[in-house]
Structure 1
Amino acid sequence: MSIPRLYTDHDLREGEAVPAAPGQGRYLGAVMRKKEGDEILLFNGRDGEWKARVASIRKDEATFMPESPRRAQTPLAGPVLLMAALKREAMEWVVEKATELGVRAIHPVLTTRAVPDRVNRARLSLIAREAAEQCERLDVPDVAEAVPLYTALGAWDGTPLVVAAERREAVPLAALPPGPMPSLLIGPEGGFTGPELDALARHPFVAMVSLGPRILRAETAAVSALAVLQATRGDWAHHTDE
């Protein structure tokens, strides 16, 4: 993409300069070879996407001047992904791809068979931001702090939650009855334990689903299930080119 696209936390208003986030000035100057006056695109998840110019740039310091709105903000509509904590590279890959697939939030959960007992939220949030910039979405999914699975279930608001449950009798994900977009829970490498699956099944908002006849890696399961949800009841099913 020839015109750089950047996320900002600041409000976007015509003629009101906004400062670059850490790393953005260096990226524009050293990587993209941009200079004062060059065009960029800005978005903040609230005000849509704006045409803007580089107002000043020096090393890693830069300011941007919004000029005019380009795309109106759209409401958040994608699924929430609850993802068992994975090893660093796999978890980062899932966050990147889930952002591209339109999730509105990512909630890492700690399970019995999860290898790490924590995640680097700041690093995952940065990956989500960079993925949102590249895939042209108008917002960045929130990455929550990692919490134990049972804590996440206890705090759940009761909205539908589908759980990829390997080796259990379950309806195929694509065959779920019509309804609103559910949230999605994917387990760790090695799957959920029996007690974890039993606890999940006791909640009325949980539906166990199958992702096919093969055992998938956790990251493959996440991407596959998100694609099915977006294709059957999400923005893949309703998107039209402007």
Structure 2
Amino acid sequence: MIRLFVPEPLAGGADLALSVEQTHYLVNVMRLQPGAELLVFNGRDGEWRAVLAQAGKRGGRLAVAARTRPQQLPPDLDLVMALVKRARLETIVEKAAELGVRRVRLITTRRTNADHIKVARLQAIATEAAEQTGRLDVPEICEPVALDRLLDGWDADRALMFCDEAGDAPDQPWGGDTGRAQPALAALAAPPGGPWAVLIGPEGGFAPEERTRLRGLPFVTPTTLGPRILRADTAAISALTLWQAALGDWRP
């Protein structure tokens, strides 16, 4: 059944106004007719069954019927993502939403080399992914900030999985004892609990001074994603998958 995110409060008997864009999507893209049923959610009140009561060129209306699922939230996991080229960043945001992150926190680093981004477009991509994957919330896409500023204001109760792929000894497996950190699954072999974040760097990697600062912070867990250097989008998807399998809602 089609799912639609709406910002308004949801309750049985509520009458919701649809925007022109939402009405166009339901009627012209998904081919719904008045009287058709769909599911709606707002990230606060759970998921509800609704009926398309009216549709026209100036918008439409939904009649909310009964709740189908109570509100649930995914594990408290953030993705901290350095800006990369627009197409790859859009893929990362889409997959992060599919993989259950609560927030995507964008950062700039010494080696950031990216197109101009529009956070509103990334938020729309995250919303569409949430609608399609059945989750009951939409991840927040945060405005970019500098890495140093992010770390200055970091909540030390949130563990940070730092995917450090530089490697000081590239001729040795895993980068050597002083290069890349311990494998991700070993680093995540800890009792679950508490908020986490995954940090992925830019296409050129982190600068030496950034790696030094990150490795010296008590809330940071340096990890490696294997013996190969991964593209930023592959690294983000891989790291989130490993975290969900080890500590998230993929566990039995």
**TM, length-normalised to structure 1:** 0.94
**1:173 matches 2:180:** no
Q: Which residue of 1 aligns with 2:210?
A: 196
Structure 1 residue matching 2:251: 3-state secondary structure: helix
The alpha-carbon deviation at position 59 of structure 1 amounts to 2.7
State the alpha-carbon separation in 1 of the partners of residues 241 and 110 from structure 2.
27
State the alpha-carbon separation in 2 of the partners of residues 64 and 218 from structure 1.
40
**1:19 matches 2:17:** yes
**1:54 matches 2:52:** yes
State the alpha-carbon separation in 2 of the partners of residues 83 and 70 from structure 1.
34
State the alpha-carbon separation in 2 of the partners of residues 29 and 224 from structure 1.
37
State the alpha-carbon separation in 2 of the partners of residues 25 and 189 from structure 1.
39
State the alpha-carbon separation in 2 of the partners of residues 216 and 60 from structure 1.
47
**1:220 matches 2:230:** no
Taking the TM superposition and a 5 Å limit, the aligned residue runs for 1:24-173 are 24-59=22-57, 61-116=59-114, 118-158=116-156, 159-166=158-165, 167=167, 168-173=179-184
- The size of the alignment, in residue pairs, is 236
State the alpha-carbon separation in 1 of the partners of residues 211 and 20 from structure 2.
42
Structure 2 gaps, min length 5: 168-178
State the alpha-carbon separation in 1 of the partners of residues 186 and 90 from structure 2.
30
The alpha-carbon deviation at position 124 of structure 1 amounts to 0.4
State the alpha-carbon separation in 1 of the partners of residues 111 and 20 from structure 2.
36
The residue type paired with residue 234 of structure 2 is: T
User: Which entry has the higher C-alpha Rg, 1 or 2?
Assistant: 2
Contact 1:80 1:184 (8 Å CA) reproduced: yes
State the alpha-carbon separation in 1 of the partners of residues 234 and 20 from structure 2.
32
Deviations 1:218-242 (A, max 9, x none): 110000000000011111114xxxx
**TM, length-normalised to structure 2:** 0.90
The residue type paired with residue 182 of structure 2 is: V
The alpha-carbon deviation at position 98 of structure 1 amounts to 0.5
State the alpha-carbon separation in 2 of the partners of residues 214 and 82 from structure 1.
21
The residue type paired with residue 231 of structure 1 is: A
